[in-house]
Structure 1
Amino acid sequence: MKIFFVGFAVFAGGSLAAKHVFVSEHLRFYLAQQYCQSKYTDLSPLTNDLEEQVFRKSVTDGQSGWIGIYWDDNEKKWICVGGVVYRDQAWETSPGNIDRVYWTREKWISKNGWTLSNFFCLNLIVVQEEKTWEEALEHCRENHDDLTSLLSETENRLAKREIQNPTITQRVWVGLRFLGDTWMWVNRDPLKFQAWTQTGDPDQQCPVQKRCGALSKQGEWENRDCQEKLNFICV
């Protein structure tokens, strides 16, 4: 009876609109990035199809602007915020001074980074209250949107960066939960990217007690006892 109740509560509600924020201010790329880093997390990274699917759910018709992909002249590659190389082969050539990526619903456009444009920010909210996993889930859904999913190496790196403050617990809850016979994101995002710590612990694959997922300050996922009290990340 207890397990059924938890499973039911875990999947109550949970829209995706709060993960990305549209900012209607006309700024150059580097100033837009500074704005996102000061008020949110960073410019929105769109490094795979799943990230863009989630992103599109938060964007209304007519919105367009900078996203977190730029050309690195030293690396001679397109780079995502967080330092991950963008792997779409269509973008693997030097763009000259057309070196930043501007998103529209119809297509992506490369533009000069000095162009004044609206932009999109990724919004990961680190809550420095120590709660059990279920208390953290309730807090996120009451005050924000949900416990966060981490859909790519870029999102994982940006979340890791946000929790390095020594006042934050050594690991933080994210929206990972083992239910039935598998790990899943509680907001129903597909679990494609994974960053589990390489311990070889069989309890990670089929946990008996450690059935909730946390992100460590090393950027690795760990399965933990759901009753442990940690800080957490909402969107």
Structure 2
Amino acid sequence: EEQLHWAPHHCSESKTWEKALEHCRKHYTDLTSLLSENEQLLVQRMMNSKRAQTDHVWTGLRFFGGFWMWVNGDPLEYQAWTGGRLPHCPAQHLRCGTLAREGKLWGTRDCEEMRNFLCYK
């Protein structure tokens, strides 16, 4: 059983991406990154057991200065985008990353949407 490099915490309150980031940094460490398929599956298992209220939850994925990156500085090596590839030039408002509760897919959403989110403990 592979160990996670962090202990995930699923926040069942819904916030915008920025507010979720603020909340994670204040009460935990940061919004989460996903560095392997195994890690992602463990997180999804947790989301299902905790009954996530939104079908997609915020992760620490953000589009900045022409690149997608994890806000905590982790390398963006493992990727699981819907459609199989990273959206190179997302529309102005679709610049925050989500993880679907079902399937292995990352999506891009309007950063102002209210969603559950994942923090590092």
Amino acid at match of 1:231: N
Residues 155 and 199 of structure 1: is their aligned pair in 2 closer, same or farther, counting only changes over 3 Å?
A: closer
TM-score by length of 2: 0.88
Equivalent position to 1:184, from 60, 63, 69 = 69
Query: Is 1:147 aligned with 2:39?
Result: no
Amino acid at match of 2:88: Q
Shift of 1:167: 4.6
Amino acid at match of 1:206: C
Between the two proteins, the alignment pairs up a number of residues equal to 117
Q: What is the RMSD computed on CA atoms of the aligned residues? A: 2.0
Give every structure 1 segment of 4 or more consecutive aligned residues whose post-TM-superposition deviation is greater than 6 Å.
none
Amino acid at match of 1:125: H
1:44 corresponds to: 3
Q: How does 1:33-112 map to 2 (within 5 A)?
A: 44-45=3-4, 55=5
**Helix, strand or coil for the counterpart of 1:198?**
helix
Which consecutive residues of structure 2, in runs of 5 or more, have no partner in the other structure?
Answer: none
Are the counterparts in 1 of residues 10 and 117 from structure 2 also a CA contact under 8 Å? yes
1:129 corresponds to: 13
**Helix, strand or coil for the counterpart of 1:183?**
strand
Identity percentage over the alignment?
A: 48
Cα distance in 1 for residues equivalent to 2:107 and 2:115: 13
**Helix, strand or coil for the counterpart of 1:213?**
strand
Cα distance in 2 for residues equivalent to 1:147 and 1:167: 16
Shift of 1:188: 0.5
Cα distance in 1 for residues equivalent to 2:7 and 2:52: 20
Equivalent position to 1:171, from 38, 56, 63 = 56
Q: Deviations along 1:61-99, whole A, 9 cap, x unmatched?
A: xxxxxxxxxxxxxxxxxxxxxxxxxxxxxxxxxxxxxxx
Query: Is 1:206 aligned with 2:71?
Result: no
TM-score by length of 1: 0.47
